[in-house]
Amino acid sequence: MELQDEYPPVGETDIDDPQRFIIELLGLALAVILTWSLFRYLMKDVFDTISSVSFNISYILVAPFIFLGPVLYYWYQYRGEECLPVRLFADNSPKETFSQKFIVSIITIGLSLTFINYTLGLILDYIVLSSGLYGDIDFFFTWMEEFDSFFAFLIFMVTQIAIVATIEECFYRGFIQDQLSKVLQSWQLILLSATIFALSHLLVAIFVYEIESKWLITSMINWFGFGLATGYIYHITRNIWTVIAWHGIWNVTVFTIWYNVFISETPSQGLEQFIWISKAILVNALILFAIYCTRNYIKEFGSFENKSSAPKTIEVKL
């Protein structure tokens, strides 16, 4: 998994002490995680669910300052850099980057990976639930069940794609992972960025949503697995918009189309925990395998177009 030479990590400052550099990035990530978790905890009784208009407006107003504010300060004031801390455009040109082909490509990748991930989870969930362990089941889909109105859904969709996915991917992949690639091997930085991504959800899950037992473990597996998948795709493409598209489409999908199940029996706690943890591991392993098998296609369609800086030559016949 060698790094693409045409898109090296952004920034001109030399890294004299790799260990100190890693500690700086981890400290920055920890500060952001703790600040965001504290904000969510203090405001948990103020806002409604994540699908509410009030929560999404608060995210739009607050999250950019919490996630990107420390990054910008560290980048410009401490490091003394002049370029953007995240590579947003090919050759620093938004006009050349956002072509119709490019937009179609990243949306296609996002929709395809969302479909694969969602379908794998659905199939394995149905196999487990209909295996007889849960007795008679009543399995049915829901559509926009969390939303009071189409306006609330529209605000949620815009927030998830334009703000949540953009901020989180720019922070975890576009900045943390990209900068770590200066001093770590590819597998190390993908593992580390995925771990930071998963841990960033842990405190909120415990203290805000009060998730416990097997569901907390399976959630951590899913967050870590998603971090590995998006980190690998970013490593392949070096294009932050590809992972933003998938992240945003995935978030909107799982809150829009879901399924509920009524059961008549419950297996032993130990067996149930083993089954669902194994299922979470299997789903994430399969999505990573699917990405690995299609990595050449993802790189071809999800990368920035390679643009040569060499002058064009013209053959003149005399």
Q: For residue 81, what is the DSSP state?
A: -
Does 39 fall in a domain?
yes
Q: Is residue 56 part of a domain?
A: yes
Per-residue pLDDT tens digits for 255-276: 999 888 999 998 998 999 999 9
> Does pLDDT of 29 surpass 70?
yes
Number of domains within the chain: 1
Q: What is the mean pLDDT of residues 89-108?
A: 83
Domain annotation covers residue 10: no
Q: Which long-range contacts (CB under 8 A, 24 or more apart) does 23-32 make?
A: 24/74, 25/176, 25/179, 25/180, 26/196, 28/70, 28/71, 28/74, 28/176, 29/176, 29/196, 29/200, 31/70, 32/66, 32/67, 32/70, 32/71, 32/171, 32/200
* From 12-21, 83-92, 181-190, 199-208, the region with the lowest mean pLDDT: 83-92
pLDDT cut 70: percent of the chain above it? 92
The helix-helix angle for 213-237 and 269-293 (nearest 10°) equals 10
**138 strand-pairing partners:** 262
Q: Is 283 exposed, middle or buried (0-12, 13-18, 19+ CB in 10 A)?
A: buried
- Rg of the chain taking only CA atoms, in angstroms: 21
Place of tokens 């990590």: 9
Rounded alpha-carbon distances, angstroms, from residue 260 to 114, 142, 143: 19, 7, 11
Token pair in block for residue 8: 């090296």
Query: Residue 269: inside a domain, yes or no?
Result: yes
12 inside domain: no
Domain with 116 in it: 18-302
Cβ(205)–Cβ(266) below 8 Å: no
Q: Is 313 domain-assigned?
A: no
In a domain? residue 233: yes
Q: Which residue has the higher pLDDT, 315 or 243?
A: 243
314 is a domain residue: no
Q: Which helix (H) or strand (E) is 131 found in, with range?
A: none
Q: Which of 9, 159, 158, 11 is nearest to 76 (CA)?
A: 11
